[in-house]
Structure 1
Amino acid sequence: MTLSSSMANALSGLTAASRAVDVVSSNVANAMTDGYARRELSLSARQSGGVIIDGVSRAVDDRVTSDRREAEAGLSNAGLLADAWLGIEEAIGYPTENGSLADRIDQLDTALISAASRPDETVRLDQAVSAAVSVADQINSVASDVQTLRQQADTEIATMVGQLNGYLDQVEDLNRQIARAATSDRDASALLDQRQAIVDSISEIVPVRQASRVNGQVALYTYGGVGLVDGQAATVAFQRSAQITPFDSYEAGDLSGISVNGFQLSIGGSYNQISGGKLSAAFEIRDQIAPGAQSTIDALARDLIERFQDGTLDTSLTAGDAGLFTDLGAAFDPTHETNVASRLRVNAAVNPEAGGDSWRLRDGLGATSAGPVGDSSLLSALEMRLTERGVVRSGPSAGLPRSVADLVSDFLSEAEAKYQISDGEKAFQSAKVDTLTTKELENGVDTDDEMQKLLLIEQAYAANARVVQTIDTLIQQILEI
């Protein structure tokens, strides 16, 4: 081996050692940086001797990363659904809580019993009317909370679609930068880290599969096969609704779906092209969970009105007259059940605050004058009607014998059961994310290992430097001859 070839070999070793120090330094400095993939220097031997730097690679297990993204999407999906069901639970309230729907039904029952025990006391009649108003107000409040939940879901969809379009544009831009780096033989590791973090964010909204393309570029597709990025970024479109009413539905075309490059996607059915992430959960809340809860509270309000608009219960009523509870002052019409929970009111005839008289609760809602103050028969009948199990005409409990309290319990039980399912799925996906994140971190930066590498690099650098020094000495000696 000639001196010149030995010098070239040593210099290539020094260059490789210098580059290796940069890689180790970057690894150590970013050991705690989220999304950073450990760098590894790739070297190969030259045919004539020495080493060639082939480039810097990232230590990434694509399969584990894909599984972790899927688990994070499932966690986001289950978390949003669990929050929705918990919100419905809290709107209904728990039986032991003051002011809950069950508590107000119980207070109405107690107030009617109290009034029946002393029908001559106006204060007790007033308290019974006030308790009935509280029941109506609470049902109105539950219906309002359900519609708020639905409106919020629609707003969240619009926000997520805006974020998604921004992320897709960033992936397209990073793809171009990575391709340019690949063709100009520049290190694109930092760009790859950025793209991985953005794809992670996309997957939380809509789970995606990643496919490799030339020069380090990637294409992104939903699990339903919809292309989001392949060369160019797709345009995702959604029209936010300024105000959603209980009469609006996606199926009827009142509410916006979602489209990609003008193509309307299938959502919410057995074939859901965006299933699995936060976006899918928000559509489920808007189009299934909230409307279902609205239907249930409407069925409860209907049952409450129909229980008391009965001429056999209150003989002062005639056909078509409203009873104790009304649909905005009128008797219930089965063809107008939608949103009746928001229209539920106590009959103004018995409500002193609406110009009525509470003695009609004792003497009949259609009575024109007060009757015997000691007659408690109607009050007792009203209390019995509240607690008796009648056949429910609509909603999830249709066809079953239920009291008003039973219907509230059924509603709360359904919300609690669905919450427990979603919360259980959330816990499962959280554990899965933790496991896969730990697996990913096994390919992460081990600072102890990096310091050991640094010692070896230092030794290699010193050895190559010694060779250069020795060759320099020999050349000087030759020149002195």
Structure 2
Amino acid sequence: MSDLLAIGASGVKAYSRALSVVGDNIANAQTDGYVRRTVRLEEAPAAGDIVLSRNSIRPGGVIAAGVTRELDQWLVDDARTASGEAARQSTRLNWISATERALDNGGNSISGSVTAIFATADQLSANPNDATLRLQFLASVDDSASAFRRTAAALGSAANGVATEAQSAVDQLNTDLSALSRVNDGLRRARAGSSNEATLLDERDRLVGNIASAMDVEVSYDARGAAIVRTPSGDPLVEGDNVATVTLNVSAAGLVSFGISPATLLQPASGALAGLTDAANHISSQRAGLDSLATQLSNTLNAAHQAGIDANGNPGAALLNFSGSAAGMTSAALAIAEVAAANALGSNGNILAFNAVRTSSGIEQNSTAFITQQAQMTAAARAQEAAASGRRDGAFAARDAIGAVDLDREAADLLRFQQAYEAAARTIQVARETMQTMLNIF
């Protein structure tokens, strides 16, 4: 006769654990990084001979063999890769957009200020002795110098922001690498198939995902599920008890570079670090372009103004003070009478020549093209970010279709295991009643 008490007890124990796992799934349905779990239920082995019967089979009940995480590793890896590229494009777009805002500050942009100089010069040419028009002309030059300084300051602020974000990203990356090493140690100690192991595996995947969002990595796993993380070139970041330290270097020009202490160069191809590298390079390039425009404007205006004669009969002075950087460009402190509107051809001969300078120098067209090019770069970055985000969202959806908690499915499992638990409890009751009936015979 089968041991009904043992069979019932095994069912109560196994289904109690299954109900606990379903409860965990429901409680963590909205927890980031949580992967749905199931209990592996197996038949308890219990074959053997009994009295008066040989080669008999005695059912042994059911056992909970372990907790399994429902996931497809390939989909997890694909989601991690897609997340890294999305992080790169998102970070890059943020700072390229900031650069666009710095360059195109509405009516106060460098392009608008350069146009205003030539527009006031044109007005002055019609009445070169008008003090108000002379003042407006000097004010437009000062406004343009101020616009260049503001733009240079805004780009400098953006460069500092990239450096600050890069430092935060490196600090967080090092924190995640250290945390992953501790999780790996926990996995080596955890009992296989336990809920504790499943929790550690969830945390392992979350940390690996964070690391991949910071930079591109190669990930493998040992027999106990501990993650081994390397750079694409093979340099270890987390392996065994060894954890690398990622470092940041910021050049005087605002360029950022990364390495592994003490002296290994990192060249991220995806993730936030790659996006920050792209952003720093772009901002540095735009700062150099701004300085180039400031040089052209200064040389053009100074040469044009110095070719004329002011109201006192003196040669025209420089309109702008410039030492090579847009951040330091200022307008010269000239009096109204020092505006060199005249030349040998007449009282407005030199200021009329500004129209020719406007066409031949190309400074106005160049400043407009500079801002337009930035707008085009921003639009391209936005399109790339949208594509990368769509790719990431699709990869996440495919991964979550298997690993995410579905409350409807959990509700069905809850009813199923509850009924199984009640059936096991009823088996114990039947066994007790049967035994009591047999004892009452005597």
Normalized against structure 2, the TM-score is what? Answer: 0.88
Structure 1 counterpart of 2:114, which letter? Answer: I
1:58 aligned to 2:69?
A: yes
1:282 aligned to 2:241?
A: no
What secondary structure, in the 3-state scheme, does the structure 1 residue paired with 2:40 have?
strand
Among 13, 16, 22, the residue aligned to 2:20:
22
Partner of 1:379: 351
Task: State the distance in 2 between where 1:186 and 1:360 align.
Answer: 83
Task: State the distance in 1 between where 2:21 and 2:390 align.
Answer: 33
1:69 aligned to 2:40?
A: no
The answer on whether the counterparts of 1:182 and 1:216 sit within 8 Å (CA) in structure 2 is: no
1:341 aligned to 2:330?
A: no
Structure 2 counterpart of 1:56, which letter? Answer: V
Q: 1:137: Cα distance to partner?
A: 1.4
**What per-residue deviation string (whole Å, max 9, x for no partner) do you get for residues 339-382 of structure 1?**
5322323334xx23xxxx44333247xxxxxx99x711111112
Q: 1:249: Cα distance to partner?
A: 6.9
1:215-230 correspondence to structure 2 within 5 Å: 215-230=224-239
Between the two proteins, what is the percent identity of the paired residues?
22
Partner of 2:320: 325
Structure 2 counterpart of 1:187, which letter? Answer: N
Q: 1:110: Cα distance to partner?
A: 1.5
Cα distance change on mapping 1:237 and 1:28 into 2, 3 Å:
closer
Partner of 1:431: 390
Among 361, 364, 369, the residue aligned to 1:405:
364
Partner of 1:264: 264
Partner of 1:296: 289
Task: State the distance in 1 between where 2:425 and 2:305 align.
Answer: 108
Task: State the distance in 1 between where 2:303 and 2:23 align.
Answer: 84
1:9 aligned to 2:7?
A: yes
Partner of 1:160: 169
Q: 1:138: Cα distance to partner?
A: 0.9
Structure 2 counterpart of 1:78, which letter? Answer: Q
Task: State the distance in 2 between where 1:23 and 1:208 align.
Answer: 33
Partner of 1:414: 373
What secondary structure, in the 3-state scheme, does the structure 1 residue paired with 2:108 have?
coil
Instruction: Structure 2 unaligned segments of length 5 or more: list them.
Output: 47-59, 311-315
Q: 1:316: Cα distance to partner?
A: 5.8
The answer on whether the counterparts of 2:15 and 2:420 sit within 8 Å (CA) in structure 1 is: yes
Q: 1:411: Cα distance to partner?
A: 0.9
What secondary structure, in the 3-state scheme, does the structure 1 residue paired with 2:209 have?
helix
Partner of 1:150: 159
Task: State the distance in 2 between where 1:75 and 1:405 align.
Answer: 37
Instruction: Structure 1 unaligned segments of length 5 or more: list them.
Output: 251-255, 267-271, 329-338, 365-370, 391-402
1:105-254 correspondence to structure 2 within 5 Å: 105-182=114-191, 187-239=196-248, 245=252, 248=253
Cα distance change on mapping 1:358 and 1:212 into 2, 3 Å:
farther
Cα distance change on mapping 1:201 and 1:185 into 2, 3 Å:
closer
Q: 1:207: Cα distance to partner?
A: 3.0
What is the CA RMSD across the aligned residues, in angstroms? Answer: 2.6
Task: State the distance in 2 between where 1:12 and 1:90 align.
Answer: 68
**Between structures 1 and 2, the one with greater helix share:** 2
Moved more, 179-188 or 288-297: 179-188
Q: 1:3: Cα distance to partner?
A: 4.1
Q: Provide the aligned length of Structure 1 versus Structure 2.
A: 422
Q: 1:183: Cα distance to partner?
A: 6.2
What secondary structure, in the 3-state scheme, does the structure 1 residue paired with 2:29 have?
coil
Task: State the distance in 2 between where 1:27 and 1:249 align.
Answer: 47
Task: State the distance in 2 between where 1:194 and 1:203 align.
Answer: 14
Task: State the distance in 2 between where 1:137 and 1:104 align.
Answer: 9
Structure 1 counterpart of 2:340, which letter? Answer: L
The answer on whether the counterparts of 2:159 and 2:254 sit within 8 Å (CA) in structure 1 is: no
Among 56, 80, 90, the residue aligned to 2:91:
80
The answer on whether the counterparts of 1:21 and 1:457 sit within 8 Å (CA) in structure 2 is: yes
**What per-residue deviation string (whole Å, max 9, x for no partner) do you get for residues 150-201 of structure 1?**
2221222111111111111111111111221136966322222222222222
Cα distance change on mapping 1:153 and 1:463 into 2, 3 Å:
same
Normalized against structure 1, the TM-score is what? Answer: 0.81
What secondary structure, in the 3-state scheme, does the structure 2 residue paired with 1:275 have?
coil
Among 20, 30, 37, the residue aligned to 2:35:
37
Cα distance change on mapping 1:43 and 1:313 into 2, 3 Å:
same
The answer on whether the counterparts of 1:125 and 1:361 sit within 8 Å (CA) in structure 2 is: no
What secondary structure, in the 3-state scheme, does the structure 1 residue paired with 2:340 have?
helix
Task: State the distance in 2 between where 1:108 and 1:223 align.
Answer: 53
